[in-house]
Structures are given as structure tokens and as C-alpha cells.
């Protein structure tokens, strides 16, 4: 195929443009193209009509182009037009083309000047055009009219930027000659996204409308306000010509006559005009496609690889084949079973790093949420002691008991155990909800909505059925605990052992004199009989042990200089508590810590100095209350430990493992018995569309890669024009620097041959267009439009 394939690059991109526009976002490729940017009435539409040689674009005041128009020009022997949204319909009357553009625009944007970024794809076949792909964008406006929102300028700017920010897009910046070029909105936008000027081509329109005595010669020669790729001037039809239906061929003849006859432009007439612009754009787009070909091929291959597996599944697919439906139903149920088990048991496949789900969330319920619910149900200390006191008194009745009654202990314990039912039932509910969520997440059957709904219904019904059994079993566990209070448990402190630890923690002894080292922090251990402190929390070096007999607690006013919160312990018989100190002042970091320690001391029988009215003044009764309080704590710790261990096991056995077994062994049979399995496997309309899109996209990508694979890129490329100082783009206040005059190779006569490789280059002469001379006047430049340069001999 050789370099002839380069001629097919633009048609190839046109084909991809149509294919990808029709299939939506299935292939997110930035196709090489040319975007036409300019202000309102800059002459963009006239330039495009001159390319085609026909009047086919809407005309009028204000914003006329309200949707991007993707215009694909294709050289052909006959002349007609096609719209992507009217497949198969050929338009030979270009007035109908204009009406179709207007109608399609109004259908999406409304009839009152609204805009939309959804493009209209128009393909024009003609013997008068060169292969080109251009995008006509709405003109930049400042003031909203009609139904346009107040931010219409920003909306149009954002729409234009969607196209021109892509590195694969060349920018055709159209500016009328009768305005200040330094204030050109088109050039300013181009500079924002293409600061190096690698993709920007300048077009100057309305040269015939400049004030008498002025011209744009310095601009067109790229000496004033230079661009790296330079400028091309064109002369469009005037409004009078358009109203008079002046033939475009006659207009092109008039344009050429204008450049040949104008004193300022006749020396560059061959480099001006619409035909010249069309040839340059054709060459530029072809070269641009060639330059981006490696990255473009890589994107095509990535897309094709991503679709290979799915396309293979769809190839030869028969939606109504009963055997296929049966096989697919079996495969989907098996896959759902595997996915559900992975979500519960955990798997390294597709690890979610955003949130917990499935088995991880159930594990959190078992070991964090459920224990937290148990801790939340702890009762108020004063209320607990009051209940114990009343229980002891009611058991003794009219008599005064000498011993602590075990019946009071059992009554209080059973009341506490009954309270466990709430957290246990709540734990089952949380696990059930997570199981249902896991089932829904595992049912990736959007393409078969009936199968998804039926599977979810069957599995959810089974989960709800197991819910009642699990809750009954959990409540049975609580009833078992209530049936027998085992005070012979090895972890139970019993009535004989009251030395169990009530609290441990760091406290500061605040009233040690400075001579003896001052305030110092120790590790304190509180039991029902004593308060001891150690050097550190290893409890190897005991500093002191203080018996709790005849001790009470009172508050100490916080010192102005200290950040600590202080309370003290003193002896009710005015004896020294610690060495020579009548009181033992203890300091904490917060008032909450003080209250917590005071509550623990209260449990050990060390009461506040001012005894609360809720408590009896009978020391013997208080001792019994404290004894039962400690016994209740000890026994409830055993019960909580047992429940925390049995709850996950019970739920796993009765709920989770059972649901896994049901999905693996019985779900398929349930689906078969639920009704017509063929109806269950009827695919959704979205799935049918998806299948069609995947197959068409895969075919388009395959064909594109085949064409690209046959194209030889070993061609003599046209070098990028040298950089110029384009700092003037950005506003009227910017400094303007005259650029260095670009140069171009000398033209060769008809009988002159190119210099052999390695020979010194011929002398250069200044060219009026600078960068474009490098492209158009190079000895290796194509002699005919849309024809690639010859290969370098190997």
C-alpha cells in the first residue's frame, strides 16, 4: 500500500468520527481534527461555504451557529451531503441541508438562541473539495439575547475549550481584518491552550472591508503580531453578495482578482485565498494525523484489547436460543455463588479501598458494634446501688440480716442479663441488613432485570426466614443464662474472694513536700479492701498499700497555678492516712477522671464526705451493697464474655453459612420452579444496545488498526515552523515585539533537480509568510493536494 495510505488518513479519521459519535462514549479517543474559532460575524461560516462551493449554512444576526458542526469534506466525483442523524438519506439540494441544520439545532436547543455542546455531524462529498475535517463552533459573544442565560459567554467559552484543549486538535483562529488583531478573542483562546503556537493557524477575513489607505500586509507576512504557523488572508462574499445569491465560484474568482490587483498583496497572491487555505489545512491535518499516529494507534489498541473479551462473547450470540439461555442461567447462578462467598470470606480480587463491605463489615459488627452496644447498656451507678439496697432489705423483711443474701445477688444479675436481649437482637438485625446488601452488590445482572429481581427475591426471602430462627436461638442463649446462675465459675470472685481489682490507672500524689521530691505520678490499683500504688504499671515495685477502713473522699479546690483536678482521701477518725499526712491528695488530668475514680472508690466502700440522701447510713448495709455490687460486676463480666463469644458463632451457623449453602445448592432449583426460565433470561433493551455498540466499535477499531498498520510513516516530514514571539496575544496592553523574518527554501524551476543527500542547502530568501513557506515551498512538498510526500529511498 505504501505511502498511498497517507491519503486515506483523513477519510479514516472521518470514518472513526462517525463511528464513535454514533456509539457514544464506548471509545474515548481524541481524533485529529480542526476547530474553527472566532467571534460573531468573523466570517467563519463564509470560509466553510467557500470550501464547499455551496450555500448551506444558516445565516442571520446574533448567534447563528448554536451547536458544534462537525463538517467532513470528502473528495468525490459527485456532489451530495449526508447527516449522521439521517443515515442513508442523501441531500443534493443544499438549501435542504441548511434547513436540516436549523431544524436539528432547534430540536435540541429550542428556537430562541439557546446553545448545546451536542454536535451535528455533516459529511459533504464533492469534486471541488479536499479531504478535511473541521468543527464549526459557536461564535464568541458578550451579551445574552432571547432565552440565553446570563453566562452565555462563559458557556460558549467552555464549549470551545472542550475541543481546542485536546492536543490532537488544530485551531483555526478566524479574525476579521477590520478589527484590532491584538484584541482577537479567537487568538486569545488559542494562546490559553496552545501557548507555544504549535497548533494555531491564523485566518484574516474581510480584507476588502478595511479602511482606505490601510492594509494587513505586515500581519499576513507574519511580521506584525506573529504566529508560529503564520496567517492566510481570504476575501468572503459581502452581505450584499449573499443576499443577491452571488455564485461562490464567481466569488472565488473575485477573491483571486482582489489579491492580484491589490498593491499590498499582489506579491503574495499565490499564498492567499480560499483555495490556498484549503490546501494548507489539508496538508496540515494530514501531517498532524501522521505526527499523532503512534499515540493514536496505541489508544486504538488499548480500546480494542479492552473490548476483545466482551466482543468474543457477543459474537455469534443468539438471544432467543433456549440452550444458550439455560447455559447462561447456570453460569450466572454459579458466578453469583462464587462472588457472594468471596464477598463474605474475603478475596484479593478487586479489593475495595473506599469502604468496608460484606464479610469485613459483618466482622466489624461482631467485634466492634456488638461489644459497644453491650457497653452502652451499663446502668447508672447510683440506681444500681439503690436497687441492691432495696433487694437486700426486701429479702430480710422485718428482720435485720447478719449475712449478705445470695438471693439479692441473683435478682440483680437476672435483671442485668435480661437487658442483654436488646443488643443481641440488634446485632442479628445489623448482620441481616449487611447480608441483603451483599446479595444486591453481588447481583451484577443489569442486562437481565427479571433474573436479577427474581434472584434477589428468593435469596432475601430465605434470609428473612432464617432471621426468625436466628433470633429465637439468640433469645434462647439469654434464657439459658437466666436458667442457672453458676457462682462456681472459675472466673467468679465469689463471696470468699473480695480482693478483685476494681480499677487501675495513673494518679499523681499532690501533697508530697518539695523536700521529698514534690508531686509525683504513680500507678494505682484499687480493690474492695485496699488502695495500692506502684512505681509503674508493671506492678513490680509496690510503694504503699492503704487499707480502706474508715476512709472517705472529699473535693479539693483546684489550684490557680495547677492544671490538675484534685480530690483527697481522709480518715474519719482523724488519723494519718499516708505517713505524716492526714490526707492523701490525688490529682487527675480532667474532672471526668476525678468523677470516675470517685465512683470506683464508692464501689469499694469509700464514700463522699457528704453522704447522698439516696444511700442508707447503715455501715453494715453499705458493706453488703458493695459486696453484691462487686459480685454482680464479676458475674456479668462472665456472662458478657460468653455472649460475645456465642453470638458470632450462632449467627454464622444459622444465618451466613446457611445462606451460602442455599445459594450454592438450592437457588438454581428455586429459579427453575419460579416460572419460565426463558423469560428470566430475556435481556434488557440496554443490554441489546450495548451488545450492538460493542460489536460495531470492535469492528471499527479492527478496521482502523488494519488501515493504520498498512500506512508507511517513513515519509519526509515537514518540519515544525520555528518559534516566534507571540507574547502580544493576551490583550492590547501587551508588549509587541517584531519577530525575526522567517525564511523559506528557494523555489525550484521546472527542470531543476533536488540536491543530493548531504549536499549543502541552497541559499534562502525571506518569505512573506514565514512558517508557511517552510510547508508549501519545500522541495519535498506534495505537488498535488491530499497527496503524501514520497518515501525516502532505503
Q: What is the pLDDT of residues 560-608, one digit of tens each?
A: 667 788 899 998 888 888 888 888 889 988 888 888 888 788 777 787 8
- Identify any residues that bridge with 523 across adjacent strands, giving them in sequence order: 506, 534
| SS3 assignment, position 310 | helix
pLDDT of 764 reads: 42
Q: Tell me 791's DSSP state.
A: B
Residue 550 carries which DSSP code? T
Mean pLDDT, to the nearest integer, of 646-660?
91
- The residue among 719, 774, 726 whose CA lies nearest residue 196 is 726
Higher pLDDT, 793 or 216: 216
Q: In terms of pTM, does the model score above 0.75?
A: no
Mean pLDDT across the chain: 77
Tens digit of pLDDT for each residue in 671-725? 877 766 666 666 666 667 777 778 877 877 777 777 666 655 444 455 667 777 6
Average pLDDT for residues 241-262, to the nearest whole number? 84
Three-class SS state of 756: coil
| pLDDT tens track for 136-151 | 888 887 777 766 677 7
Residue 732 has pLDDT above 90, yes or no: no
Q: Which three cell numbers stand for residue 702?
A: 479492527
Could you tell me if 265 and 217 are in contact, meaning their C-beta atoms sit under 8 angstroms apart?
yes
Cell of 190: 488559542
Confidence band of 745 (pLDDT split at 50, 70, 90): very low
Say which residue the cell 445470695 belongs to. Answer: 406
pLDDT > 70 in the chain, percent? 75
407-465 tens-digit pLDDT: 888 888 888 899 899 999 999 999 999 988 888 877 765 556 777 788 888 888 999 98
Q: What would the mean pLDDT of 534-543 be, rounded to a whole number?
A: 88
Tell me the C-alpha distance between 594 and 602, whole Å: 12
* pLDDT classification of 53: cutoffs 50, 70, 90: confident
Predicted pLDDT at 77: 87
pLDDT value at residue 794: 35
- First and final C-alpha spacing in the chain: 16
Question: CB under 8 Å to 51, separation ≥6 — which residues?
Answer: 73, 129, 132, 134, 274, 278
Give the model's pLDDT for residue 260.
Answer: 92
Alpha helices in 63-216 (DSSP H): 94-109, 152-164, 185-193
Lowest-confidence segment of 64-68, 154-158, 365-369, 703-707 by average pLDDT:
703-707
Q: Report pLDDT for 431.
A: 92
Comparing C-alpha atoms, which of 167, 168, 172 is closest to residue 190? 172
pLDDT given for residue 22 in this prediction? 52
Task: State the DSSP code for 788.
Answer: P
Three-class secondary structure of residue 345 per DSSP: helix
pLDDT surpassing 50 at residue 38: yes
Which DSSP string corresponds to 472-512? Answer: HHHHHHHHHHHH---TT-TT--TTT----EEEEEEEEE---
8 Å CB contact between 323 and 338: no
Give yes or no for residue 772 having a pLDDT over 60: no
Return the pLDDT at 98. Answer: 87
- Tell which wins on pLDDT, 393 or 526: 526
| Residue 729 scores a pLDDT above 80 | no
Q: What's the pLDDT score for residue 12?
A: 66
Which cell goes with 794? 532505503
156-214 pLDDT, tens per residue?
888 888 888 888 888 999 999 888 887 888 888 888 898 888 888 999 998 888 888 88
User: Around Cβ 100, how many Cβ atoms within 10 Å?
Assistant: 19
Strand 607-608 and strand 551-555: pairing?
Answer: parallel
CA distance linking residue 572 with residue 284, whole number of Å: 103
Is the dihedral angle over the CA atoms 648, 651, 653, 656 positive or is it negative? negative
All three cell numbers of 420, joined, read 442483654
Is the per-residue pLDDT at 552 higher than 80?
yes
Task: Show the cell assigned to 268.
Answer: 503574495
Amino acid at each position: 500500500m505504501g505511502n498511498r495510505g497517507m491519503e486515506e488518513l483523513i477519510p479514516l479519521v472521518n470514518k472513526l468520527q462517525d463511528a464513535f459519535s454514533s456509539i457514544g462514549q464506548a471509545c474515548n479517543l481524541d481524533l485529529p481534527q480542526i476547530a474553527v474559532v472566532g467571534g460573531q460575524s468573523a466570517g467563519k461560516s463564509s470560509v466553510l461555504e467557500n470550501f464547499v462551493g455551496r450555500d448551506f449554512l444558516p445565516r442571520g444576526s446574533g448567534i447563528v451557529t448554536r451547536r458544534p458542526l462537525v463538517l467532513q469534506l470528502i473528495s468525490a466525483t459527485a456532489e451530495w451531503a449526508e447527516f449522521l442523524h439521517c443515515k442513508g438519506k442523501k441531500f443534493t439540494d443544499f438549501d435542504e441541508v441548511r434547513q436540516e441544520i436549523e431544524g436539528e439545532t432547534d430540536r435540541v436547543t429550542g428556537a430562541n438562541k439557546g446553545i448545546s455542546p451536542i454536535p451535528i455531524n455533516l459529511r459533504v462529498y464533492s469534486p471541488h473539495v479536499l479531504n478535511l475535517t473541521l468543527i464549526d463552533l459557536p461564535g464568541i459573544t458578550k451579551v445574552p439575547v432571547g432565552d440565553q442565560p446570563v453566562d452565555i459567554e462563559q458557556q460558549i467559552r467552555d464549549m470551545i475549550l472542550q475541543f481546542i484543549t485536546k492536543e490532537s486538535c488544530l485551531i483555526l483562529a478566524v479574525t476579521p481584518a477590520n478589527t484590532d488583531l491584538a484584541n482577537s478573542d479567537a487568538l486569545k483562546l488559542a494562546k490559553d491552550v496552545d501557548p507555544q503556537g504549535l497548533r494555531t493557524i491564523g485566518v484574516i477575513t474581510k480584507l476588502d472591508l478595511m479602511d482606505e489607505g490601510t492594509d494587513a500586509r505586515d500581519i499576513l507576512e507574519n511580521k506584525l503580531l506573529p504566529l508560529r504557523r503564520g496567517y492566510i488572508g481570504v476575501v468572503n462574499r459581502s452581505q450584499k453578495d449573499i443576499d443577491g445569491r452571488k455564485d461562490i465560484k464567481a466569488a472565488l474568482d473575485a477573491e483571486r482578482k482582489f489579491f492580484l490587483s491589490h498593491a499590498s498583496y499582489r506579491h503574495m497572491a499565490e499564498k492567499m485565498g480560499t483555495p490556498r487555505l484549503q490546501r494548507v489545512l489539508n496538508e496540515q491535518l494530514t501531517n498532524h494525523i501522521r505526527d499523532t499516529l503512534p499515540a493514536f494507534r496505541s489508544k486504538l489498541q488499548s480500546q480494542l484489547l479492552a473490548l476483545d473479551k466482551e466482543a468474543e462473547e457477543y459474537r455469534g450470540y443468539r438471544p432467543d436460543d433456549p440452550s444458550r439461555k439455560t447455559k447462561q442461567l447456570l453460569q450466572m447462578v454459579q458466578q453469583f455463588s462464587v462472588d457472594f462467598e468471596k464477598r463474605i470470606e474475603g478475596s484479593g480480587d478487586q479489593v475495595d479501598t473506599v469502604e468496608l463491605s460484606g464479610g469485613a463489615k459483618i466482622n466489624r459488627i461482631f467485634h466492634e458494634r456488638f461489644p459497644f452496644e453491650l457497653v452502652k447498656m451499663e446502668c447508672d451507678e447510683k440506681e444500681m446501688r439503690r436497687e441492691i439496697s432495696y433487694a437486700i432489705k426486701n429479702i430480710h423483711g422485718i428482720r435485720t440480716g447478719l449475712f449478705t443474701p445470695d438471693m439479692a445477688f441473683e435478682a440483680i444479675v437476672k435483671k442485668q442479663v435480661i437487658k442483654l436481649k436488646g443488643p443481641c437482637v440488634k446485632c442479628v438485625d445489623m448482620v441481616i441488613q449487611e447480608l441483603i446488601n451483599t446479595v444486591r452488590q453481588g447481583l451484577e445482572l443489569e442486562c437481565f432485570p427479571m433474573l436479577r429481581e427474581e434472584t434477589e427475591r428468593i435469596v432475601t426471602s430465605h434470609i428473612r426466614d432464617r432471621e426468625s430462627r436466628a433470633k429465637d436461638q439468640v433469645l434462647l442463649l439469654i434464657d439459658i443464662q437466666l436458667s442457672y446462675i453458676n457462682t462456681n465459675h472459675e472466673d467468679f470472685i465469689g463471696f470468699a474472694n473480695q480482693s478483685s481489682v476494681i480499677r487501675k490507672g495513673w494518679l499523681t500524689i499532690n501533697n508530697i513536700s518539695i523536700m521529698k521530691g514534690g508531686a509525683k505520678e504513680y500507678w494505682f490499683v484499687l480493690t474492695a479492701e485496699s488502695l495500692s500504688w506502684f512505681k509503674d504499671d508493671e506492678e513490680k515495685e509496690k510503694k504503699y498499700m492503704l487499707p480502706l477502713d474508715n476512709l472517705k473522699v472529699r473535693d479539693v479546690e483546684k489550684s490557680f497555678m495547677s492544671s490538675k483536678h484534685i480530690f483527697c482521701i481522709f480518715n474519719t477518725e482523724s488519723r494519718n492516712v499516708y505517713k505524716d499526712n492526714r490526707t492523701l491528695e490525688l490529682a487527675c488530668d480532667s474532672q471526668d477522671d476525678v468523677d470516675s475514680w470517685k465512683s470506683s472508690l464508692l464501689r469499694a466502700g469509700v464514700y463522699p464526705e457528704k453522704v447522698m440522701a439516696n444511700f442508707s447510713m447503715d455501715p453494715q448495709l453499705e458493706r453488703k451493697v458493695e459486696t453484691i455490687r462487686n459480685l454482680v460486676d464479676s458475674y456479668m463480666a462472665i456472662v458478657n464474655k460468653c455472649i460475645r463469644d456465642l453470638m458470632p458463632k450462632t449467627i454464622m451457623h444459622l444465618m451466613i453459612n446457611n445462606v451460602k449453602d442455599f445459594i450454592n445448592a438450592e437457588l438454581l432449583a428455586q429459579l427453575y420452579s419460579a416460572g419460565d426460565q426463558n423469560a428470566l433470561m430475556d435481556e434488557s433493551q440496554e443490554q441489546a444496545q450495548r451488545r450492538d455498540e460493542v460489536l460495531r466499535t470492535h469492528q471499527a477499531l479492527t478496521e482502523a488498526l488494519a488501515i493504520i498498520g498498512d500506512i508507511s510513516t517513513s515519509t519526509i516530514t515537514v518540519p515544525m515552523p520555528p518559534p516566534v514571539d507571540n507574547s502580544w496575544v493576551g490583550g492590547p496592553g501587551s508588549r509587541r515585539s517584531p519577530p525575526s523574518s522567517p525564511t523559506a527554501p528557494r523555489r525550484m524551476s521546472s527542470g531543476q533537480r533536488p540536491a543530493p543527500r548531504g549536499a549543502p542547502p541552497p541559499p534562502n530568501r525571506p518569505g512573506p509568510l514565514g512558517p508557511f513557506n517552510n510547508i508549501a515551498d519545500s522541495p519535498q512538498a506534495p505537488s498535488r493536494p491530499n497527496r503524501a510526500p514520497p518515501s525516502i529511498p532505503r
